[in-house]
Amino acid sequence: MKAVNTMWTEAINEYLNYLLIERGLAQNTIAAYGRDLLQFKEILMVQGLENPYMVELNNLYDYLAVLWQKKMSSTTIARKVACIRGFYDYYYLQNKVKINPAAKLDAIKRKQSLPQVLSEQEVDRLLNAPQGDILGLRDKAMLELLYATGMRISELLNLDIGDIELEAGFVHCTGKGDKQRIVPLGGLAKEALERYLQFSRPKLLKTRNDAYFLNNRGKRLSRQGFWKILKAYAEELKILKEISPHTLRHSFATHLLKNGADLRAVQELLGHADIATTQIYTHLNQSHIRQVYQKTHPRGAKGGPANEF
């Protein structure tokens, strides 16, 4: 039973870590998901399911039946369903489950929250924060690359030497489900990467290692390591918004659309399989337009001046 608990615990902890580091969800949300997954584990283990990767759809329906028997509200059950769907979506993409048991699990629709984004001025401050020492050059290169390409943090940290063609100005990116895409690089990102490769990476490298971005021990930088770096710069700059590695991806997409980019082009750059996923950024752009309208139109704000004739 100890080995069983370890299997479930490792699976849950890996998923919660993904939500924290890559998705950038709030601590309270992650804590709630953790409680939901712990309850999910306990109910399924009572059913005799010792392996989280062997769950089937009928097991999920049995789980929901237990929740209804406990007379939980539909809102609470909706959150738990979303949690389980996300859990198995993640492990399906990781190839840990061959058939996603939650794919046909009915979702209870809830209001979609908009992701946090930085203003263009906040991005400029963040990208200019790293100093010109060995680690600063590395941090500058990573931040410039994230904002220049909209890559996921896992995609960035999995880059190897050879994945970036600086002279041609593009990145070979491996996304979810091992899908490949090519993303162009801007001039500032190319310059930061060139300086990192010339002055910083050779000093960080201890033994032969193809990882593009290295920590101070010469190993591939981890998501936790990048998270700490980003939080430190945000605190130094006194950026009050909740910031995560995914924030630069959200900002990349929002700023492109704000400045006239085509939605289909942004979808390709982000590596979204479904354009519906990309459309959330149009809501952000509409929010910006509404704010500008309310601020600048004579009668845009409540209580604006009356017409004078």
CA 158/CA 223 separation, integer angstroms: 10
**Exactly one of 63, 88, 90, 281 is catalytic; which is it?**
281
- Is residue 203 part of the annotated active site? The answer reads no
Residues 119-134, mean pLDDT to the nearest whole number: 94
- Is residue 176 part of the annotated active site? The answer reads yes
From residue 291, how far is each of 121, 133, 237 by CA, in Å? 17, 40, 25
CA 301/CA 291 separation, integer angstroms: 9
- Is residue 283 part of the annotated active site? The answer reads no
**Identity at 242, one-letter amino acid code:** E
- Segment 245-275, tens digit of pLDDT: 889 999 999 999 888 888 888 888 998 877 7
CA 257/CA 30 separation, integer angstroms: 30
- Is residue 246 part of the annotated active site? The answer reads yes
Fold of 2-93: DNA polymerase; domain 1 (1.10.150)
Output the pTM of the full model.
0.61
Q: Would you say the CATH fold of 120-291 matches that of 2-93?
A: no
Q: Determine the number of helices (DSSP H) and then strands (DSSP E) in the chain.
A: 14, 3
SS3 182: strand
- Is residue 18 part of the annotated active site? The answer reads no
- Is residue 79 part of the annotated active site? The answer reads no
Confidence (pLDDT) at 257 = 87
The distance between the two most distant Cα atoms of the chain, rounded to a whole number of Å, is 83
Residues sharing a CB contact under 8 Å with residue 209, sequence separation 6 or more, in sequence order: 218, 219, 220
Fold of 120-291: hpI Integrase; Chain A (1.10.443)
**Exactly one of 176, 195, 219, 258 is catalytic; which is it?**
176
SS3 173: strand
Q: What residues does 222 pair with on adjacent strands?
A: none
Query: In which band, very low, low, confident or very high, does the pLDDT at 42 lie, cut at 50, 70 and 90?
Result: very high
- Segment 202-216, tens digit of pLDDT: 999 999 999 999 999
For the chain, which residues make up each domain, given as ranges? 2-93, 120-291
